Amino acid sequence: MKKIIITGATGSIGEKLVQELTARGDEVIVFTRNPEKARNKIANASRYVKWEYERMNDPSSLHYAGTSWLHELNGVDAVVHLASANLSSKRWNKKFKKEAYDSRIISTRNLVEAIKQVEHKPKSFICSSAVGYYGERFDEILDEESSPGNDFLADLCKDWENEASKVEQYGVRRVSLRTSPALSKDEGALKKMLWPYKLFIGGPLSKGKQWFPWIHIDDIVGIYLRAIDNEKVSGAINGASPGIVTMKEFAKTLGNVLNRPSAFPVPKSIMKIVAGEVAEYAVMSQRTSVDKILNAGYKFKFENLEAALRDLLK
């Protein structure tokens, strides 16, 4: 039985990860800004610890309402850090970009600083990242050694991983999981794509030639489990399916599964009017390689896009 701390447990990936961990008998401690909300959504954690990532200016600031989240880190097997502001939750402006940046960089920095202070350090620190690390790369095949992009999201991911990597100097194994859009029936990219198809006006985003990395939610959770359990998994890991497709292929497959047409592309200019700057990132091409996680022994449940979509939309 492992003892594992999770931040961001109320998100779709975090919630399913908690379910998988508790089902196999692990003890899960949830770090959350709202313990009551987390307790209502996730029933099986052992504790729900009040955690505000900004509170780390000095050791005494780790104590909040009589609870020390620093103490909770002592002797756990793994810390899984998923918490971050949802990049697609609102239009981007200077204020929201700062919120998105701080929720990732400062929270990671303060967790690593807290790990530095505890006597019995976690064995591993598993931190979320994103394929946005690579920026716009067209047809280039991207493995974990590929260089980062040079836009806002790429810089955010680079800084995020740099903060996480600092935990290695304290003897803690670090994994930064560069997640691609995780397909889930309840939220995320797939849910947003469904409504045009229901209106018979579905189609690819932009010209459709861009590579679209995707992953079934069961597989991204499975990769997190592999990262927790396998001591040989370390550094950056691409969290995407081997069955990568272009956006046009994705749209066609989704249309076939829904028995709807997919002949109505959405121009990037229209997307920018509706969604703002985030539209630029929604149509970037990132042809990710997943050889590293395959070589670590992970076996995907869903390598085929049509099978993944049929499972989710059945």
What is the total count of domains within the chain?
1
Q: Is 188 a domain residue? A: no
pLDDT for 57 beyond 50: no
- Residues 117 and 70: beta-carbon distance below 8 Å: yes
What does the pLDDT average to over 43-69?
69
User: Would you state the structure tokens that stand for residue 249, as one six-digit string?
Assistant: 């292929």
pLDDT for 132 beyond 80: yes
At 127, is the pLDDT very low, low, confident or very high (cuts 50, 70, 90)? very high
**Angle, alpha carbons 171-174-177 (nearest 5°):** 180
Q: Is 311 a domain residue? A: no
Q: What is the pLDDT of residue 56?
A: 54
Number of other residues whose CB lies within 10 A of the CB of residue 172: 19
Q: Is 219 a domain residue? A: yes
Q: Is 197 a domain residue? A: no
Domain that holds residue 143: 3-183+214-241+288-301
Q: What is the pLDDT of residue 65?
A: 43
User: Would you state the structure tokens that stand for residue 15, as one six-digit string?
Assistant: 């919630």
pLDDT for 55 beyond 80: no
> What CATH number is associated with residue 293?
3.40.50.720
Q: What is the pLDDT of residue 61?
A: 52
Q: What is the pLDDT of residue 189?
A: 85
pLDDT for 125 beyond 60: yes
Burial 250-282 (b: 16+ CB within 10 A, else e): bbbbbbebbebebeebbeeeebeeebeebbbbb
Q: Is 110 a domain residue? A: yes
Three-class secondary structure of residue 273 per DSSP: helix
Tell me the whole-structure pTM to 2 decimals.
0.94
Q: Is 47 a domain residue? A: yes
Q: What is the pLDDT of residue 312?
A: 97
Q: Is 199 a domain residue? A: no
Mean pLDDT of the chain: 92
pLDDT tens digits, one per residue of 202-220:
999 999 999 999 999 999 9
Q: What is the pLDDT of residue 271?
A: 73
Three-class secondary structure of residue 211 per DSSP: strand
Q: What is the pLDDT of residue 67?
A: 46
pLDDT tens digits, one per residue of 230-249:
999 999 999 999 999 999 99
